[in-house]
Amino acid sequence: MSIRIRPLLITDIAQIHEIEKLSFSEPWSKRMFFSELEAQGYNHSLVAVDNASDHVVGYCCFWILEGDEIHINNIATHPDYRRKGIAQTLMREATAMGLQQCAQSVTLEVRESNTAARSFYERLGFCQVGKRIGYYCKPKEDALILRKPI
């Protein structure tokens, strides 16, 4: 399978929202994705597109904060395309963009019970640095704060 990474376009919102609903118990709204497209100077969003079908199969929304940190706000891959390196490629591209602005680390939150995601982030070199009590609502759960130096 061949994919390409490019910036999120307004025309991608419907596709990424479908992936979002398939991936999370508390999905972002379409409006939240639209807000990531509003130029703020720190917000960035990438999509992974399957070259064969031209469908969006994954996305990553992140902030590059004052040349010091990349914060991953949302990342997901369509269930039919998981375990093919797409999320890893998106993380690599986000990190490369942050490095261009002198970022020194990547942070994110993950559900404490999401062992698959935690294992993925651990393989990428992330370590737990904190916990946000009651961060998630559906169901109510703590978030682990993970960080990776770059």
Catalytic residues: 109, 121
pLDDT tens digits for 11-51? Answer: 999 999 999 999 999 999 999 999 999 988 899 999 999 99
Measure Cα distances from 130 to 19, 80, 81 in Å.
28, 32, 30
How far from chain centre, in Å, is Cα 112?
A: 17
pLDDT tens digits for 85-122? Answer: 999 999 999 999 999 999 999 999 999 999 999 999 99
Domain coordinates in residue numbering, the chain: 3-107
- CA–CA separation, 45 vs 37, rounded Å? 7
Which pTM does this prediction carry? 0.94
> Is the pLDDT score of 67 beyond 80?
no
Please name every residue paired with 145 in a beta bridge, in sequence order, or none if there are none.
Answer: 109, 130
3-state secondary structure of 117: helix
The H-assigned helical ranges of 50-150 are 86-100, 115-123
CATH class of segment(s) 3-107 = alpha beta
Q: How confident is the model at residue 66 (pLDDT cuts 50, 70, 90)?
A: confident
